[in-house]
Structure 1
Amino acid sequence: MPETVPPSHPLVEPHPLAEPRPLGEPRTWPRDFTDRLTAPLPGVRALARIAREGKLRPAAETLRQIQQLPFEPGPMPEAGPTTVALTWAGHASWVIRIGGLTVLTDPVWSRKILGTPARVTPVGVRWEDLPPVDAIVISHNHYDHLDAPTLKRLPRDVPLLLPAGLAPWARRRGFTQVTDLDWWEAVELAGPAGPVRIDFVPAHHWSKRTLTDTCRSLWGGWVLTAPDGRRIHFAGDTGYGHWFEEIGRRYRDIDLALLPIGAYDPRWMLRPVHTDPEEAVRACQDLGARCLAPMHWSTFLLSAEPPLEPLHRIRAAWAATGRPRSDLWDLPVGASRVLAER
């Protein structure tokens, strides 16, 4: 019979979690984080090959699928101090209500980002409909995840939680509550139901924003833990690899994994840094997570797969595991879901 629950991790003592660090703590970091890469970055030969193949965007005959991309904006659910609720604004941007706080992940409300065609679905949440924002978490500094025009719309005293080495970028733009973290480090935010813990965890990716800053800041995902222990893993942007099992060992009982499923073709080039749908399902199993919410698709056309292919493949991969269909949160852009209490 197929498995109906996530595989359990070995019965070993979990690694103790780090004590939360002070918010706004000044830090000194290495000059670069190249040693954290889990695969070499594409070299001249790879760039020449992609230029020859010209396979950077979906084939023209598949672009009619854009009209079928799921977009169902609706009112966000009411969220009290004990509610954990999510709304997908598109791409890797989520509005997470947890422990009475509102946290935005990689907020991109811009219609267009540098070097990329304009978004093909609108933002799923109007800016004016957002509740007061209590914190922002950023996975890395690529333009489709760290969007300066969107951040400029925020109060300068909103807490920004960033990867190591990225705090100077934010402080130069006037933000005053800036905390950058290394992998496995955490902070706590005070909420009406108790502290919400937010941990920075590894990912298989890289960073670059200008011609001279390759890997000068770190990259990763975040684990958000509600006062009652419910957990969400936001993977940011990542390839598939060993870090998912390690995260699952350290953070037991993850309720929901927000995992990228798009921007994966051509596979020979993008495999190290972008999970495809089947790998996202494997990552969810490695994490020991109960539910999976796909993201990083249907918003910006960043690579060559047909626009609807990630949705079809994630549904098929999930069905093949035999796990409950209701635990795949394949939300349309703009939709919300409330995480059940344990």
Structure 2
Amino acid sequence: MKTSLAIPVIKTTHSKLSETDFSNLVFGKVISDHMFVADYKNGEWTDLRIEPYAPMEIHPANAALHYGQSIFEGMKAYKNDSGEILIFRGDANARRMNESAERMCMPSIPEEIFLEGLTQLVDLDRNWIPSGKGSSLYIRPFMFAMDNYIGVKPSDTYRFMIFTCPVGAYYNKPVSVKVETQFTRATEGGTGAAKTAGNYAASLYPALQAQKAGYDQLLWTDGKSHSKIEESGTMNVMFKINGTLITAPTHTGTILKGITRDSVIQLAKDWSEPLEERFLTVSELHQALENGSLQEAFGVGTAATIAFINKIHVNGKDYTLAESSQDSFGKRILKELDGIKYGEIADPHQWIIKI
């Protein structure tokens, strides 16, 4: 990708690269050397720069701390056998971040600033991209309010930042999930479709209760009746029942428009796979588990890509799912997405940004 913005760079004088154990990466714990920063004031984005990753000073009256104006994205960069860097669908992340910004009364980020800051940062820290299948460089763009003012109103100033983390697999084994019918992640008219920090804060307590009961994640249901499956805690979710792939639609505004979800749907259409974008009811899921018509269940998301589900708790009972065969849809789609991301197969939809 050609660069067009001249972004000043201050390089670190002490790289942590040689101190990092790439064979033992805990997801999100190790941060690369640099970060991209841009500030919004007087109606425009200014002071674009790349500088050493470091703590920053925040005023105690910072509006984001008190009123929650904070949004983020997540994506990954990969390294192919030729040493080229491949970023998966960064333009889609830029668009989705601006959709979140609109909902949260925050300024949009010009796509050029988003993508140039992203690619130049990743290029600078390219040696942080781990090699090997299943490893990648996780990229975290985020924006938050910067006004120092105690009052309930949209901030006038904001900061946009990007930092990166070398990571291994998010889930290294299949996951167990519990259908949640008491707590609510999102309701129509709320912020469920925005990737905003508050959505995740509200989900922590019920997720923790599920983990204490022995489950990895929740399957959230709709906030009105708790009768329809929406999504999981860190990913959208898909079910294959009687040969048909079923996943919740996004038109209600209660579900994040997952980029991995969109990619899986596109590939399913390419393969003429039977597909329904509709809500699966809790009773349908229960019946499919009882009669054995549920063939596959898996989560889809940036961190996990495809997270296979091996146990579902619903209506007071645990159901164990058989391990997916190598020719199952989930295994095939994971192989296809990995092939595109690592540059091993053709990229028919131009999803890859190459550095």
In proportion to residue count, which structure has more strand? Answer: 2
Larger radius of gyration: 2
Q: TM-score range by the shorter chain?
A: under 0.3
Indicate the structure whose relative CO is greater, using CA pairs within 8 Å and at least 6 residues apart.
1
TM (norm. structure 2) is: 0.25
TM (norm. structure 1) is: 0.25
